[in-house]
Amino acid sequence: MIERTVTIASSVGLHARPAAVFAEAAAELDVEVTIAMEGEPVDEAMDAASILSLMSLGAACGDRVVLRAEGPGADEALVSLAAILETDLDA
């Protein structure tokens, strides 16, 4: 399993609009990706393609989250998703 820790850059955190952009990108991938707040147990990770799961994280600007994926293309998937989270989508 590949893991990547990312800092949320959107100025108001992972709320509706950034969550929707991120979830749509995650849903288009050929690998399943999970997301969790940094320090949370792996079994509490949520589906990264679910807007409701993303919003329930309560991730604010500057918070760190962990993305995880497994299988062919996992590394590339996490790079592309990390880039979304590291962009202020509210700017």
What is the percent of the chain with per-residue pLDDT over 70, rounded to a whole number?
Answer: 100
Longest Cα–Cα distance of the chain, Å, equals 34
Which of 12, 15, 21, 46 is the catalytic position?
15
Residue 51 pLDDT: 95
Average pLDDT over residues 23-34: 96
* Domains within the chain, CATH numbers bracketed: 2-85 (3.30.1340.10)
| pLDDT bracket for residue 89 (50, 70, 90) | confident
- Is 49 considered catalytic here? no
Mean pLDDT for the chain overall: 95
DSSP of 49-84: T-HHHHHHHTPPTT-EEEEEE-STTHHHHHHHHHHH
Residue-wise pLDDT for 52-68, tens only, equals 999 999 999 999 999 99
Strands 46-47 and 2-7: unpaired
66 vs 68: CA distance, rounded Å: 7
